[in-house]
Structure 1
Amino acid sequence: MDCPVSSADDLSALLDQQGYVASRPLAVSMFLALRLQRPLFLEGEPGTGKTEIARALASALGRRLIRLQCYEGLDLAQAAYEWNFAAQMIALRTAEAVGEGDRAALQAELFTREYLTERPLLQALSPDPAGPPVLLIDEIDRTDAPFEAFLLEVLSDYALTVPELGRIEAPEPPIVILTSNRTREVHDALKRRCLYNWVEYPDAETEAGILRRKVPEAPAALAAQLVAFVQRLREEDVFKRPGVAETLDWARALMALDRLELTPEAVRETLGTLLKYQEDLAAMDDGRIARLLGAAE
Structure 2
Amino acid sequence: MASTSCEHVPDPIEALGRRLAAEQYFADEGLLTAAHLSLTLGRPLLLEGEPGVGKTEIAKVLARVHDRELIRLQCYEGLDAAQALYEWDHPKQLLAIRTCEAENRPVGELYDESFLMERPLLRALRVPCVLLIDEIDRADSEFEAFLLEFLSDFQITIPELGTIAAAERPIVIMTSNRTRELHDALKRRCLYHWIAFPDSSREKRIIESRVPGLPEDAAKTLVAAVAGVRDLDLIKPPGIAESIEWGQAAKVLLHEGADWPSALKRSLGLLVKEQEDTETVLAHAEGLGL
TM-score (norm 1): 0.88
Is 2:254 the partner of 1:253?
no
Corresponding residue of 1:112 = 112
Q: Which residue of 1 aligns with 2:3?
A: none
Q: Who is 2:125 aligned against?
A: 125
Distance 1:261 1:159, change over 3 A: farther
Distance in 1 separating the partners of 2:159 and 2:149? 14
Residue number in structure 1 paired with 2:276: 279
Structure 2 partner of 1:225: 221
Question: Does residue 268 of the first structure (1) align with residue 273 of the second (2)?
Answer: no
Say if 2:43 and 2:190, in contact at 8 Å, map to a contact too: yes
Verify the 8 A CA contact 1:153 1:160 in the aligned structure 2: no
After TM superposition, give the deviation of residue 281 of structure 1 in Å: 1.0
User: Following superposition of structure 1 onto structure 2, how do residues 69-218 of structure 1 map, counting pairs within 5 Å?
Assistant: 69-97=74-102, 106=108, 109-126=109-126, 128=127, 132-218=128-214
Q: Tell me the matched-pair count.
A: 279
Amino acid at match of 1:39: P
- Could you tell me how far apart the structure 1 residues matched to 2:86 and 2:270 are? 38
Q: Is the 8 A contact 2:254 2:260 kept in 1?
A: no
Q: Secondary structure at the match of 1:110?
A: coil
* 3-state SS of 2:267 partner: helix
Q: Distance in 2 between matches of 1:75 and 1:247?
A: 35
Kindly provide the amino acid, as one letter, of the partner of residue 87 in structure 2.
E
SS at match of 1:66: strand
The 3-state SS of whatever aligns with 1:284 is helix
TM-score by length of 2: 0.90
Kindly indicate whether the alpha-carbon contact (under 8 Å) linking 1:226 and 1:262 is maintained by their aligned counterparts in 2.
no
Q: Give the root-mean-square deviation of aligned CA atoms.
A: 1.9
The alignment status of 1:24 with 2:29, answered yes or no, reads: yes
State the SS of the aligned residue for 2:219. helix
Structure 1: give runs of 5+ residues left out of the alignment: none
Q: Which of 90-99 and 114-123 deviates more?
A: 90-99
Structure 2 distance, partners of 1:154, 1:76, is: 10
Contact 2:130 2:172 in 1 (8 A): yes
Query: Aligned letter for 2:289?
Result: L
Mapped pair 1:50 → 2:47:
no
Structure 1, 229-238 or 158-167: larger mean CA deviation? 158-167
Deviations 1:211-270 (A, max 9, x none): 11111211000000110110121111001000001111111111111267542x334311
Q: In the alignment, residue 68 of structure 2 is paired with which amino acid?
A: R
For residues 205 and 261 of structure 1, what CA distance do their matches in structure 2 show?
A: 23
Give yes or no for contact 2:75–2:133 (8 Å, CA) kept in 1. Answer: yes
Q: 3-state DSSP class of the match of 1:168?
A: strand
